[in-house]
Chains A and B, each alone.
Chain A
Amino acid sequence: MSSGSPQDLAEARPEPAFTVTLDGREIEAVPGRTVAAALWSAGVTSWRTTRVGGAPRGVFCGIGVCYDCLVTVNDRPNQRACLVPLHPGDAIRTQEGTGHDD
């Protein structure tokens, strides 16, 4: 039957979690994870709205090809959440449209 989690399965003993923020709200992040993985683990699957339809988007290809998971990290918009690793204190912001409006 299923085991508990991917970390159990791989017998991971990650370094202590640190704090980052998503739109000002504090979330815990496990070191080594990408922005996308940290947000997934916090129960967040969408962090961008599209330019035309304002539709929510999150990870799609997971390997940096599709650019659907774009997000603003430390005031830099259009970062691919599936590639960018997180660091303590990083400020993640939901990206609306091009990310250059605010």
Chain B
Amino acid sequence: MTERPHLAVIGAGPAGLAATAAAAAHGVRVTLLDSAARAGGQFYRQPAAELNARRPQALHHRWRTWERLRDSLARHVEAGHATHLTDHHVWFVERRSDHFTVHALLGPAQEDPVEVRADAVLIATGGYEKVLPFPGWTLPGVLTAGGAQAMLKGSLAVPGRTAVVAGTGPLLLPVATGLAAAGVEVAALVESADPKAFLRRPRVLAAQPGKVAEGAQYAAQLLRHRVKLLTRHTVVEAHGDERLEAVTVAALDTGGRIRPGTERRFACDTLAVGHGMLPHTDLAETLGCRLEGLRVHVDDEQRTDVPGLWAAGETTGIGGADLALTEGHIAGRSAAARLTGAVPDPRGWATAAKSRTRLREFSAALDAVYAPPACWTDLVTDDTIVCRCEEVAGGAIREAVAGLGAGDVRTVKLLTRAGMGWCQGRMCGPAVAGLAGCELTPSRRPFARPVPLGVLAHAGETEDDEHQ
């Protein structure tokens, strides 16, 4: 048997797992690299093995799909057609003349480098949560909605006894019901949008009966756990001295402004907050892929415009786990066909392609319904920290914009240091763009994560020697 062509898949969430299964089943050897100790990504994040969870499915939705993905990966690993590299933090993908080199750092320490050579690469790096600032959002006890869920799923840990879940978007529902099921008193679910707006889109809903049923399930669970649902409301301030003690919530008018006199206070030790998701695009950007807004552009086969490079899942646009599965499948099939020298036949993935179309329509409808309140910039007082790393407040950013003429995120950064810290502007970028009155654009970070200088100095040396 001739050696199979080699595909590196980066990210072991729904998209990466579906891609691995599809490619390994069609004649390709796959190396799946992921930063976590176990496969699953954020959506199917698994409890650490030492916790011996006998019913991890109690924390999850669509567990059967996970079992299928997990078992399929195990089968391909056993057959020698796939390798799963856990604890591999990919910081850079390098395009060489006849192959790609994936550069990763090992383990939680992230000091020792690993290089994986492959004929092609499939990026399935997912996304991260966007949070817009408000007074008190840096207090311990305030965390992202997805972060609360990650700690619950991965460590079986909750941050406190009484929580408010707030912001906007479909993620808030599983977070609120998940925390409630895990014994946290959820004082309120505060959603700035009006999900009833969905009823004005009957065609989209009719095409997704599963999603409608899911919504109804969440509504029933909120009732069962007696979670107060406040739509068209927003958190205006988080209170506390050394840690969170309460939040003030207010109603929004149709223009997205605070309705005066509607403020009320909820005592809580946890605020799980999120305003939607953003795609991780660093690796693709550095490779020179074309981006559309903040997402990686792909064709019908999930190919980027860089030859040999595919992308699937949230990195190509936020759309949820179901969409990531279909995109991953198509990307894996396309990569397998092209790497084995066959002409890809889209009829082979027609069902997935049809689902992909419907799911993209559905996620566009979600985007139209869920939005942060128009007034969010008004909530950012001059002393509200906006850049959490560099501790740059709203006033300094406004001064840079109004006083010094900064009109984009980069100029604000040069003048104030906002976005120059550890997270490289991932957290404050959307807020700085909003306050500067410009669109958030890709940041063009050369590396996807911090790299020790020693690793950087020696990266690729072995290959350079071979080529000389």
Give me the interface of A with B, judged by CB distance under 8 Å: 1-15, 30-34, 36-38, 40-41, 45-46, 50-53, 55-68, 70, 79, 82-85
Contact = CB atoms under 8 A, between A and B. Distances in A.
B389 A67 contact: yes
Given A40-B159, A61-B128, A66-B144, 12 more contacts: A2-B181, A2-B185, A3-B183, A9-B181, A10-B55, A11-B58, A14-B50, A31-B51, A37-B156, A63-B147, A67-B423, A82-B151
Contacts of B224: 1
Contacts of A13: 52, 54
B206 interface: no
A85 B108 contact: yes
Contacts of B42: 63
B58 A9 contact: yes
B207 interface: no
A63 B154 CA distance: 10
Interface in B381-405: 385, 388-391
B248 to A, nearest CB: 20
- Consensus secondary structure, chain B interface: loop
Contacts of B157: 6, 33, 36-38, 40-41
A2 B183 CA distance: 5
A79 B49 CA distance: 22
A100 to B, nearest CB: 14
Interface stretch (B63-71, B134-142, B365-373, B430-438): B134-142
Given A10-B56, A67-B389, A60 B154 contact: no
A42 B26 CA distance: 49
A60 to B, nearest CB: 5
Contacts of B426: 65-66
A9 B159 contact: no
5 contacts: A6-B59, A7-B51, A13-B54, A61-B144, A66-B426
Contacts of B146: 61-63
Top 8 A-B pairs ranked by shortest CB distance? A62-B147, A32-B48, A32-B50, A37-B155, A67-B422, A37-B157, A46-B140, A31-B50
Interface hub of A2, A6, A12, A66 (most chain B Cβ within 10 A): A6
A29 to B, nearest CB: 11
Contacts of B47: 10, 12, 32
B243 interface: yes
A54 to B, nearest CB: 10
A12 B390 CA distance: 40
A15 B48 CA distance: 11
- Consensus secondary structure, chain A interface: loop
Contacts of B243: 45-46, 56
A52 B150 CA distance: 29
Contacts of A79: 108
Interface string B18-40: 00000000000000000101000
Given A33-B157, A61-B147, A68 B388 contact: yes
B165 interface: no
Nearest to A54: B391
A65 B277 CA distance: 13
A58 B147 CA distance: 12
Nearest to B224: A1
A78 B98 CA distance: 38
B158 interface: yes
A62 B108 contact: no
Given A7-B156, A67-B389, A62 B183 contact: no
A83 B59 CA distance: 20
A63 B128 contact: yes
A59 B138 CA distance: 10
Nearest to B50: A32
A34 B153 CA distance: 12
B182 interface: yes
Nearest to B390: A52
A40 B156 CA distance: 11
B212 interface: no
B129 interface: yes
B258 interface: no
Nearest to B392: A52
Nearest to B126: A63
A102 to B, nearest CB: 20
B283 to A, nearest CB: 14
B143 A60 contact: yes
Given A12-B53, A40-B158, A59 B108 contact: no
A66 B160 CA distance: 21
A9 B178 CA distance: 10
Contacts of A70: 422
Contacts of A50: 391
Given A11-B55, A32-B51, A61-B144, A6 B160 contact: no
B144 A62 contact: yes
A23 B131 CA distance: 31
A45 B183 contact: no
A38 B148 CA distance: 14
A36 B151 contact: yes
B143 A57 contact: no
B325 interface: no
Interface hub of B49, B182, B427 (most chain A Cβ within 10 A): B182
